[in-house]
Amino acid sequence: MTLWQGRLPDTVPAVRLFCDSFELDRRLYAADIRGSIAYARALGRAGVLTRGEVDAIVRALERIAVEFRSGAFVAAPGDEDVHTAVERRLGELVGSELAGKLHTGRSRNDQVATDLRLWLLSEIPAIRDGLLSLGEALVAVAEEHLGLIMPGYTHLRRAQPILFSHWLMSHFWRFSRDLARLEGFTVRAAVMPLGSGALAGNPFGVDREALAAELGFEGAAENSLDAVSDRDFVAEFLFIASLTGVHLSGLAEDLVLFSSPEFGFLELDERFCTGSSLMPHKANPDPLELARGRAGTLIGALCGFLSVLKGLPTGYNRDLQEDKGALFTAVDSLALMLPLFAGIVRTVRVRPERMAAALDEEMLATELADYLVEKGVPFREAHRAVGGLVRRARELGVSLGELPQEAYREAHPAFDDGVHGVRDFARAVARRRSRGGTAPERVRGQIELAKRTLRERRGDG
Amino acid sequence: MTLWQGRLPDTVPAVRLFCDSFELDRRLYAADIRGSIAYARALGRAGVLTRGEVDAIVRALERIAVEFRSGAFVAAPGDEDVHTAVERRLGELVGSELAGKLHTGRSRNDQVATDLRLWLLSEIPAIRDGLLSLGEALVAVAEEHLGLIMPGYTHLRRAQPILFSHWLMSHFWRFSRDLARLEGFTVRAAVMPLGSGALAGNPFGVDREALAAELGFEGAAENSLDAVSDRDFVAEFLFIASLTGVHLSGLAEDLVLFSSPEFGFLELDERFCTGSSLMPHKANPDPLELARGRAGTLIGALCGFLSVLKGLPTGYNRDLQEDKGALFTAVDSLALMLPLFAGIVRTVRVRPERMAAALDEEMLATELADYLVEKGVPFREAHRAVGGLVRRARELGVSLGELPQEAYREAHPAFDDGVHGVRDFARAVARRRSRGGTAPERVRGQIELAKRTLRERRGDG
Amino acid sequence: MTLWQGRLPDTVPAVRLFCDSFELDRRLYAADIRGSIAYARALGRAGVLTRGEVDAIVRALERIAVEFRSGAFVAAPGDEDVHTAVERRLGELVGSELAGKLHTGRSRNDQVATDLRLWLLSEIPAIRDGLLSLGEALVAVAEEHLGLIMPGYTHLRRAQPILFSHWLMSHFWRFSRDLARLEGFTVRAAVMPLGSGALAGNPFGVDREALAAELGFEGAAENSLDAVSDRDFVAEFLFIASLTGVHLSGLAEDLVLFSSPEFGFLELDERFCTGSSLMPHKANPDPLELARGRAGTLIGALCGFLSVLKGLPTGYNRDLQEDKGALFTAVDSLALMLPLFAGIVRTVRVRPERMAAALDEEMLATELADYLVEKGVPFREAHRAVGGLVRRARELGVSLGELPQEAYREAHPAFDDGVHGVRDFARAVARRRSRGGTAPERVRGQIELAKRTLRERRGDG
Amino acid sequence: MTLWQGRLPDTVPAVRLFCDSFELDRRLYAADIRGSIAYARALGRAGVLTRGEVDAIVRALERIAVEFRSGAFVAAPGDEDVHTAVERRLGELVGSELAGKLHTGRSRNDQVATDLRLWLLSEIPAIRDGLLSLGEALVAVAEEHLGLIMPGYTHLRRAQPILFSHWLMSHFWRFSRDLARLEGFTVRAAVMPLGSGALAGNPFGVDREALAAELGFEGAAENSLDAVSDRDFVAEFLFIASLTGVHLSGLAEDLVLFSSPEFGFLELDERFCTGSSLMPHKANPDPLELARGRAGTLIGALCGFLSVLKGLPTGYNRDLQEDKGALFTAVDSLALMLPLFAGIVRTVRVRPERMAAALDEEMLATELADYLVEKGVPFREAHRAVGGLVRRARELGVSLGELPQEAYREAHPAFDDGVHGVRDFARAVARRRSRGGTAPERVRGQIELAKRTLRERRGDG
């Protein structure tokens, strides 16, 4: 029996197969029941239901929630989605007459939109916690190893020496921005559609401000027609998830590279690696690779859903049902990946000797140019002179330090004996002490700021 | 017990939660078992297994297939994916010693890539059949109503009269192209990775040509390193599915519009409509809308998977595991949507009176211009003259036919009394008799060609 | 002469053809020069440049800005991008020795990232203004026509009567959310990379807080390695632009539909239409269609750029150069579309008689059900009864009002003579007076709130 | 003066700014003129134009082509696109009366669709040549270094030794598939829309088969309504370009990694590198990185355009104008990248000593397991035993070869003295001699097959 059996014949099986969504959306049961309980109370306050009716409905809905939670809930053939399933079960428990009153003035359109927001808002604390945990892991490792120098890269080529902690903190700030986006989003998303009916609003005098407050929303949507079809919150969450996924993919890429035998700066804890079915020696960073791939899937989910929304005419259209698959993928992925990365970061083994071995002298070329600048040579001229020195050393197959002093003088007359003092990695790091630079005191400052921020956010949670 | 327990400790639970895929990929069981049976035989031919060993393995694998098919298969905690599950169960049935020989020279890398291709190739006939059925439905309705005139649109504005059958056939040719793409793809995809090992090839003398023939592939991959990471076939199928989805979305859009009360050219069979939970009168084209939305999701799956592939280094990387979710979504969506659309098209009720009512005289403006052209007036001049007539009629609030003859003469002196003969929709349709035009004999030609093609393809299937 | 001619040979022409970007990025000239002027002053404050040197550089840079603005700037063959072009020209004006000092401690990496942020921040006010103007247009038309009733749609099927102004305001709130997102973003994006060097920070004591303040940033980036590769601001702007594009596409879709002859609720001003090259009568809503299409292009730009970012290793990588094409497309599209839509909305002609004609009685079915509810009938039962009535009327080919009273009684005994009073569109609209509903006083409230918000935002601008 | 000035007022400037496309589509001039010349002749054959008129039009169009080619063509303010520009100029040359006849029976809809196909078909040979050149480069280098052993990777971890040429050929086969897709596509795309009019076909008896033959198409579109809005060819080309871009991105990733100091297997020719503005020693693989990024942009172009197409109603809609930007990006990118990569591959310097140094003994672990298999040990048991050996060696900090013989016996009793013979990289490579394997004779076979294919394709071109 469908909701509209008075008007329409039964749909053909192919329609049900394609359109039904109970297996997908059953996880919304708690949100659906919470919304229905609040709506029953609102109908009670509006005089549509008696106090006794409200109590009976609420008790039955709470029982249904228990049935879902415990796995005891049994789906019926006609349960096309979780909302129908709950409504059907409610009819069994309180009689179809009373159950039939709960839908007074409410439409699937405002109900579904409300449920999905409630569900998402209930998932956000875990994602926020995941971001905080990953941030804490990065900061903890950065603090532990403060002072350790590694090669800094641009274009995946050794560029300048930096602190290992500076690298870790470069990832921290990315996730910190994700957190800020998530927090701004959470406020924007907490707008209640319930009480919008199918499109035109509620004619039974339901007090939507009170309803919103009871459900923990910041407020009620201002326009019923907009409210039932507004999926901005899905699109925006998908974006935040995609960008967080992109940031995880970047961290994954670095960890895969730096823990390869060729780089060797890090070793992943083997409990986060998997082996090969064929090659007995392998220890592969599968979770990192899968996360890198998942970032692609999240981008696809975002882009696909924006494409779903594009060009839709006014009012609710069933195209919007595609929101759930995309949103569930995004929430589940973040919920799994963030704690996993926190674990990987916390257990990584650092290999300072490999970092030191990778600090080749060419990475001090900028120091040589800066040396000339301090002697009054324009930077571009200094750059050119040192570029020539590097080329010469390469041609001779020697390091910059092995070039004779006369090679320096030929490269630029301003090179004097003092030049050898600049070939010092610690000095190069320490010189970059403007805000944001890799000098140890600056990196310590970053860490302190990060810890303060994390503490405050933990306090707010 | 993992495959690599000799080398590595157990993974932490978070890794298993994120990386395991049995729930997703269990549907590959038949392909996995088919591939393993063929590989066992190939190992037998290569002398690695005895005839008795081969027989025992094959019998056990066939039994496992039955267990899966009947629902009797019971997953164990360590079954991280369907391949591990089958291998574990094989060990229970034939002993782990014999089961352990089946993996000789084979890697998950070539096994998984082979299974996914086998599975996809086994799903294609149903999709092909869906495309053929939809094509047949379009042609049948086009043939039934040949001669019926409707407004043709550009920019969703009435443009020129066309045959209703011409409109139907315009959709037919889209799906015909999809079919051609699918057929070209199927040959390209039928290349076997099995026998590539993890990356370097098979050292046990397995005859891959024979193995490919047994499994129904067109041939064996030429390069083992390429073969284990080649997912072109996934990307290309996702593209074909996306474009087919886009074509379905266009047909859905037309059907939604043309069956709206405002257009009213068609009525959808109510068994393909669903009602409203709130508004008792509604009969909504939900399946069409959901299909339109699904096209967006398919686009996202394509784009997400291409993003997964982008920038991966050589050899197998675990990122590739994202192939399955995307591919399953695409296959399932087409398998559900194509027969559904065939049913909707076949049962649509045509309302000729509404089509006739929508043929307003402005749609004959081009006929007026062509009339002048036939009198020797350059087309651009004729266009301008008729444009002025249309404007004049609009200003006066009359139809073109209601304008006095002198208005025509003022618009252009070449207008004479013969002009009234051109204000005839059937004549306008019949004039367009160059190949591809909407003249009845041309549309009949299209239909004949389409029927011939469909018959041939049915024969090939 | 390249910047690195000391070290490397000339690149082959194919590299230049592919990598050079001057034609694309020349529009960044003002931002580049503004950044360089501020950096010159910062070097002056840090003691690297003398006051005289700073003055000479600033004067020359200002002159170069004038040359660009006036079109007098002449590119040289080696001008691979706008930054090189400005630097080359500076050398011509102040001598290469002095020009060569400006790059002290600065890298293309921090320079380019700073320029792009400066440029985007300078474009945002125009986009914000466009959003405000469109909002004002929607509100103005909503206010003008307050009280006018039109059919409200779900699933593109007539659902319930709503106010025309309610429909307009449903679009207003979408753009209002876009504005809120844009404002939150603008603060987040105003973080300065300059002074980060290539990756490791600035070793010449540049005061980045002062530099940030001079350039109008909210602050300086906390981590130099992050700062040079952080393109979150590009991705986030692309998302905001895509979602705004999606909202414009929805408004476009509604306007195209509602101004079609079949709907006929609106007429577009013909100055916003284009004609046909072939059909003299056509007036096509081309700008609306093109905008609807552009939304797709913007989605692609977002998704493509996220894919560019995915999986990049630490530090600057040249992949990031793809940021500009995507960002320019997004900014230009919004800058063109928003005022265009404001113009279209303001000039649209409303056709109340067509709206009235489309109000068919079935749209009052919910009123009939609510009537029963008020008599104490459970909603689901009422829904079923009215569904049957609608079916009966359809079978008889009459309207609901033409059904005999006994048909009502048969449908449900609670139907009495009072039922005829509910078949009133104005009453149906007026009943929906909960917050967000379509009742006139509620829509007036929406309009007042919107006007207040717009005024405040205009004040802030 | 617009084409429709009889009917409509001038559009407002904002419409022109947004909708005009001459700067973008002027590159279609040759295709537009070629199409117009053929159409003029077809009108001549149909008796609409006299022979003299045809000659005058053809001569003038050829002159306009020369004006474009030489840069002498001067755009006029009303030239909204290249088609209007050519038509306007034609009027100047032959008089507007005669020019006005050329549009008889032709619409912008069929004209634009034809031009874009003609243009694309004219660009494909260069792209095909680029793919062939890149393939030839890969094969040439593979042949030159046949026999050289390098580490093969999975999960970016050393896996098994392979031939360097095997790695090169793994990339070859990817591009070979791209070529096959491009060739299949070219046939499918060569279908002519011209003669479809705006939507309904051509009423002037134009012989479309002859027209198609003259323009080099395979045939004429079967349905005029489909023909004017069919952009499958754009979508499919964008897909082919995206996947080719993905393949280039994979080659780029490998080249960036393998030429890094940490891997060091290759050195890029410095003429394909660019330096740093700040760091004098840098030689960065910028073109490879930019190509890797461009793959993302191409994915976005595909996905965006599919989103443009999604849900469009029947007939031409202006949304389709978004086809050009996407298509031009794709064609230009491939045309620049393919020869660039061919150049990079051909000039790469191979460093065998670094490859040899990276062949660590763990990569022979599979050989040890296979050794046991040959002694009759089931593979899974052998895998476990060798996994334990690897772990033991790691714990002791020694290589597998340094482990005492007793460690082998403890690991598995089947290990005997013969085991040391298997620790040989050349032997490991040579054993994989099934088709597709890395054994030298198999790789030679791949190279021969590739050379034969390339030669045949060069012959066909």
Q: ipTM more than 0.85?
A: yes
Contact C310 B307 (CB under 8 A): yes
- Please, what is the average pLDDT of chain B? 96
The model's confidence at residue B3, banded by pLDDT at 50, 70 and 90, is low
pTM summary value: 0.98
A·D CB contacts under 8 A = 124
Q: Give the mean pLDDT per block of 10 residues along chain C (461 residues).
A: 73 94 96 98 97 98 98 94 97 95 96 98 98 98 98 97 98 98 96 98 96 98 98 98 98 98 97 93 96 98 98 97 98 98 98 97 95 93 94 93 93 92 95 97 98 93 56
> Who has greater pLDDT, A10 or A239?
A239
Q: Which of residues 260-279 of D touch C (CB under 8 A)?
A: 270-279
* Structural element, H or E, at residue A350: strand A349-350
Query: Helix B29-45 crosses helix B108-144 at what angle (to 10 degrees)?
Result: 130
C166 lies within 8 A of chain A by CB: yes
As a whole number of angstroms, the distance between CA B76 and CA D121 comes to 56
Lookup: tokens for A38: 């609040």
Q: Rounded distance, CA B153 to CA D109, Å?
A: 12
Q: Which residues of C are catalytic?
A: 155, 276
- At residue B461, does pLDDT exceed 70? no
List subunits contacting chain A, requiring 3 or more Cβ pairs under 8 Å. B, C, D
Please tell me the distance from the alpha carbon of residue B221 to that of residue C392, in angstroms, as a whole number: 65
Nearest to B198 among A276, A299, A320 (CB): A276
pLDDT value for C301: 98
Q: Per-residue pLDDT for D350 more than 80? A: yes
Q: Identify whether the C-beta of residue D29 lies closer than 8 Å to the C-beta of residue D65.
A: yes
Instruction: Please indicate whether residue A305 or residue C401 has the higher confidence score (pLDDT).
Output: A305
Give helix then strand counts, H and E, for chain C: 19, 6
Band the pLDDT of A381: cuts 50, 70, 90. Answer: very high
Give the list of residues 6+ apart from residue A139 with CB closer than 8 angstroms, or none.
Answer: A168, A169, A172, A447, A450, A451, A454
Question: Which residues in chain B have their CB less than 8 angstroms from residue A4's CB?
Answer: 274-277, 280, 282
Q: Is the pLDDT of residue A457 over 70?
A: yes
Cross-chain residue pair B282–A7, CB shorter than 8 Å: yes
Shortest Cα–Cα distance, A285 to chain D (Å): 7
Contact A313, B141 (CB under 8 A): no
The secondary structure of C290-345, three-state, reads HHHHHHHHHHHHHHHHHHHHCCCCCCCCHHHHHHHHHHHHHHHHHHHHHHHHHHHH
The three-point CA angle D81-D85-D91 to 5° equals: 150
Per-residue confidence (pLDDT) for residue A2, from 0 to 100: 59
Mean pLDDT of chain D: 96
State mean pLDDT over D17-38: 96
**Residues from chain A contacting residue B310 (CB–CB below 8 Å):** 296
Token output for C204: 């010449």
What does the DSSP 8-state code read for residue D186? Answer: H
The residues in C 338-367 lying below 8 A from D, measured between CB atoms, are: 339-340, 343
Going by pLDDT thresholds of 50, 70 and 90, the confidence category of residue D260 is: very high
- Which residues numbered 45-104 in A keep a CB inside 8 Å of some CB on B? 103
What CATH code is assigned to D361-458?
Answer: 1.10.40.30
CATH top-level class for A109-357? mainly alpha
Please tell me if residue A402 touches chain B, with a CB cutoff of 8 Å.
no
pLDDT digits (tens, 9 = 90+) for D196-228: 999 999 999 999 999 999 999 999 999 999 999
Return the number of other C-beta atoms located less than 10 Å from residue D353's C-beta.
10
Per-residue model confidence as pLDDT tens digits over B350-370: 999 999 999 999 999 999 999
Residues 434-453 of chain C whose Cβ lies under 8 A from any Cβ of chain D: none
**Paired residues of B266 in beta bridges:** B350
pLDDT higher at B461 or A313: A313
Nearest Cα of chain C lies from the Cα of A378 at a distance, in angstroms, of 5
Sign (positive/negative) of CA torsion A236, A241, A246, A251? Answer: positive
pLDDT of the residue at D3: 65
Closest Cβ opposite residue A281 in set D307, D358, D362 = D362
C343 Cα to chain B: minimum distance (Å): 20
Q: Compute the distance between CA of residue D114 and CA of residue D111 in angstroms, rounded to an integer.
A: 5
Contacts of C157 in chain B (CB under 8 A): 260-261, 282-285
* Residue D8: pLDDT band with limits 50, 70, 90: confident
Q: Which one from D96, D122, D276, D399 is the annotated catalytic residue?
A: D276
Residues B99, D203: C-beta atoms closer than 8 Å? no
Is A412 in the active site? no
Task: Report, at the CATH architecture level, how domain A13-104 is classified.
Answer: Orthogonal Bundle (1.10)
Q: Are A257 and C313 in contact (CB under 8 A)?
A: yes
Q: What's the burial of C156, exposed, middle or buried (CB within 10 Å: 0-12/13-18/19+)?
A: buried
CA distance C116 to C34: 12
Written as six digits, the tokens of B368 are: 């007026």
* Backbone phi and psi for residue D274, each to the nearest 5 degrees, phi listed first: -125, 160
For residue A461, name the pLDDT band (cuts at 50, 70, 90).
low
The shortest C-alpha distance from D310 to chain C (Å) reads 9
User: Are D312 and D319 in contact, with CB atoms under 8 Å apart?
Assistant: yes
Same fold, B109-357 and B361-458: no
Judge whether C160 is closer than 8 Å to chain A, CB to CB.
yes
Which residues of B are tagged catalytic? 155, 276
A421 CB contacts (<8 Å, ≥6 apart)?
A427
Per-position DSSP letters for C139-174, written without gaps between them = HHHHHHTTT-EEEEEETTEEEEEEEHHHHHHHHHHH
Among chain A residues, the shortest Cα distance to D384 is held by A280
* B153 contacts in chain D (CB < 8 Å): 199, 313-315
Band of pLDDT at residue A275, cut at 50, 70 and 90? very high
**B2 falls in which pLDDT band (50, 70, 90)?**
low
- Return residues 233-262 of A near D (CB < 8 Å): 256-257, 260-262
| Interface residue C412 vs chain B (CB under 8 A) | no
Question: How far is it, in rounded angstroms, from Cα B102 to Cα B41?
Answer: 10
Q: Is residue B6 scored above 90 in pLDDT?
A: no
**What's the distance, Cα to Cα, between the start and end of chain D in Å?**
45
Place B1 in a pLDDT band, splitting at 50, 70 and 90: very low
| CA nearest to D344, candidates D451, D255, D450 | D255
Per-residue DSSP letter, D37 = H
Q: Which distant-in-sequence residues (6+ apart) come within 8 Å of B291 by Cβ?
A: A18, B245, B248, B249, B252, B337, B340, B341
> Can you give the residue ranges of every domain in chain D?
13-104, 109-357, 361-458
